[in-house]
């Protein structure tokens, strides 16, 4: 009888199947396989079948982007969809500064050279921030003023290649069709790659630009293609005379780029000038003083795109086909031009109140910040223009972040554990944070499920018996200082209505009527009242019993004619907290849900 069993891929099952097959033969009907030398042969056959099945399964899995696990294979499959995974991205800061000559000068222009710039110490580590291209400024009254200069974190590197098409092989040089231009450094920010070509190896040079597709590319186009290859390296591919200009032998190629530490220095706002400045003749001033006048903190730094994200994004980018029409198109393209995107939501102007036809609104939450800077928004809009069809106008709006804060009392059995209350608390915090990181809670259209979080707290350690957890919603707003404004704060979730305690609370701020002490707000009888704390007794002293209305049903606060002169924190932010009617909280459209573990309270009690 033929052996036809192929369903068992476990070693023991394969070996048993082989025994059953041999026992079915008349020569081995009563044979003792366990006590014979033939058992070794059966082990070998079973191992061979097992390894063959395993390797075949792995090979087949690696042939499809959904099941592939090795990065090199996922990148190769994404390449077939026309998608190049995003590289590490250097954080960008904007700096305005003056260079004052120490002696009178005849210079009319001063140039900050590419690859130089500033240094910064952040979290006990030194970072270099440089400009990618030469930046020029006019010298007026012996002072050169540089405004909003974009600087990026990283180390500037220059690679030089010489084209060899003659077939003559020199030491260490590939020739002809086998020649490859590979950038061997890791953590390259591909957005910073600059290619200059020196025809014939002379001094004359011209820039070549990266091509993301073959639209409008012909035999004379001065372009190059960029691909990620094995071991997370990149390869420069020059034109072949059909797609892009073909380079002649002895042509020199200079490739400059930055290697970056990615998100490590996001948030840097203090810099020290260390750049090289020269006049147009290449002469540096004998003496000068650099004064920084304005800084936009660094942001946008991001690690290389993960394998998981490549598998998620590549099919969507393929569907977008380099044109922004649907909301999915915009999402894929915005993630491409700004990799440091935590989450994004797109909606048309027709959904606005009142409608704004012909506009597309983009709410974007950066990875390591709450909002984008105005300069970053401007850059993203500029990058989007080449993808937008017809007369549609993209607009980036700040996300409305709805914070959820927890106050949890954790009760655990001290008889079955020797852990301290602090250790139990830290375990709970770690468990809650891990659940947030692996769930869809923190996002646009996110949902906070109270029962799931309570379960996560109970499951953090076997000694935990129960927990009492309350939920608070918080919104932060930055007022228009020294101006009388109407403020409306929407939570999109109904408020609790408590007859004994206020539902609304705030951090302290100052208004023009009471500039010498902090004031606060709370709700009383469906009105928002303004009060201060007595410096002696600590009791609440009402200053104004009606500065606005609170809508419990719709979850809205309205404050009228309020003139704020100072906020609660260094950035003049004011925090408004309310008790929700339901412990399950949802975010809609441009509202981003954020579970603020850092500002939550976890306290463990031993029973």
| pLDDT recorded at residue 518 | 93
Confidence category of residue 39, pLDDT binned at 50, 70, 90 = confident
Is the pLDDT at 195 greater than 90? The verdict is: yes
Dig out the tokens for 604 from the structure. 């463990």
| Per-residue model confidence (pLDDT) at position 112 | 95
Distance in angstroms (rounded) separating the CA atoms of residues 64 and 81: 12
474 vs 115, 449, 594, 602, CA distance in Å? 44, 17, 10, 17
Q: Check residue 246 and report its DSSP letter.
A: B
219-224 mean pLDDT: 92
The pTM of this model reads: 0.69
Between CA 227 and CA 212 the distance in angstroms is 10
Q: How many residues does the structure list for the chain?
A: 607
Could you give the CA distance from residue 290 to residue 138 in angstroms, rounded to a whole number? 15
Tokens 């630009």 belong to 209
Q: Is the pLDDT of residue 604 over 50?
A: yes
Other Cβ atoms less than 10 A from the Cβ of 82: the count is 14
Q: Is 447 exposed, middle or buried (0-12, 13-18, 19+ CB in 10 A)?
A: middle
Q: What is the mean pLDDT of residues 125-149?
A: 94
543 Cβ partners below 8 Å, 6+ apart? Answer: 513, 514, 519, 530, 531, 532
Residue 236 and residue 251 in contact, taking contact as beta carbons nearer than 8 Å: no
pLDDT of residue 172: 45
Element housing 344 (H / E): strand 341-348
Tokens 């030491």 found at: 171
**Where residue 175 falls among pLDDT bands split at 50, 70, 90?**
low
Among all chains, which residue has been given the structure tokens 């982007």? 65
Q: Which of 373, 390, 308 is nearest to 338 (CA)?
A: 373
pLDDT band at residue 200 using 50, 70 and 90 as cut-offs:
confident
Q: What average pLDDT score do residues 122-143 get?
A: 93
């Amino acid at each position: 009888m033929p052996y036809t069993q192929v369903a068992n891929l476990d070693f023991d099952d394969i070996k048993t199947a082989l025994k059953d097959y041999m026992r079915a033969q008349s020569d081995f009907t009563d044979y003792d396989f366990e006590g014979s030398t033939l058992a070794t042969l059966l082990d070998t056959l079973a191992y061979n079948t097992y390894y063959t099945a395993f390797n075949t399964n792995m090979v087949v899995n690696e042939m499809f982007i959904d099941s592939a696990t090795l990065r090199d294979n996922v990148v190769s499959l994404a390449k077939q969809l026309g998608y190049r995974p995003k590289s590490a991205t250097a954080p960008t800061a904007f700096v305005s500064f003056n260079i004052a000559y120490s002696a009178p000068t005849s210079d009319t222009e001063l140039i900050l050279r590419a690859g130089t710039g500033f240094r910064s110490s952040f979290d006990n580590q030194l970072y270099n921030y440089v400009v990618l291209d030469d930046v020029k400024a006019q010298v007026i009254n012996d002072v050169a003023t540089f405004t909003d200069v974009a600087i990026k974190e990283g180390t500037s590197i220059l690679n030089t290649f010489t084209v060899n098409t003659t077939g003559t092989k020199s030491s260490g040089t590939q020739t002809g069709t086998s020649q490859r231009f590979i950038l061997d450094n890791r953590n390259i920010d591909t957005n910073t790659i600059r290619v200059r070509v020196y025809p014939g190896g002379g001094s004359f040079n011209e820039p070549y630009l990266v091509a993301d597709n073959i639209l409008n590319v012909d035999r004379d186009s001065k372009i190059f293609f960029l691909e990620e290859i094995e071991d997370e390296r990149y390869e420069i591919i020059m034109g072949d005379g059909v797609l892009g200009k073909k380079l002649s032998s002895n042509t020199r190629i200079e490739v400059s780029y930055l290697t970056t530490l990615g998100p490590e220095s996001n948030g840097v706002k203090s810099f020290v000038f260390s750049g090289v400045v020269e006049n147009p003749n290449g002469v540096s001033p004998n003496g000068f003083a650099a004064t920084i006048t304005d800084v936009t903190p660094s942001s946008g730094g991001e690690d290389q795109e993960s394998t998981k994200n490549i598998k998620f994004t590549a099919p969507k980018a393929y569907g977008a086909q380099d044109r922004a029409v649907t909301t999915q198109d915009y999402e894929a393209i915005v993630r491409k031009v700004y990799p440091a995107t935590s989450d994004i939501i797109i909606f048309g102007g027709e959904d606005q109140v009142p409608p704004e036809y012909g506009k597309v609104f983009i709410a974007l939450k950066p990875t390591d910040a709450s909002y984008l800077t105005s300069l970053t928004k401007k850059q993203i809009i500029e990058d989007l223009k080449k993808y937008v069809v017809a007369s549609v106008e993209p607009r980036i709006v700040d996300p409305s972040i709805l914070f959820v804060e927890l106050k949890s009392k954790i009760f655990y059995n001290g008889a079955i554990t020797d852990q301290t209350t602090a250790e139990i608390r830290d375990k709970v915090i770690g468990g809650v944070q891990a659940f947030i990181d692996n769930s869809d809670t923190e996002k646009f259209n996110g949902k906070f499920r109270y029962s799931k979080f309570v379960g996560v707290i109970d499951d953090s350690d076997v000694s935990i018996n129960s927990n009492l957890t309350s939920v608070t919603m918080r919104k932060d707003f930055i007022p228009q200082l020294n101006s009388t404004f109407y403020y409306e704060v929407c939570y999109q979730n109904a408020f609790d209505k408590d007859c004994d305690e206020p539902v609304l609370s705030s951090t302290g701020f100052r208004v023009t009527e009471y500039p010498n002490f902090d004031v606060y707000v709370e709700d009383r009888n469906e009105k928002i009242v303004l009060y201060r704390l007595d410096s002696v007794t600590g009791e609440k002293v009402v200053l104004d019993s009606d500065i606005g209305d609170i809508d419990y049903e719709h979850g809205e606060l309205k404050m009228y004619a309020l003139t704020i002169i100072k906020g609660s924190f260094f950035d003049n932010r004011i925090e408004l907290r309310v008790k929700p009617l339901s412990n399950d909280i949802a975010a809609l459209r441009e509202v981003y849900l954020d579970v603020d573990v850092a500002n939550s309270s976890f306290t463990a009690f031993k029973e």
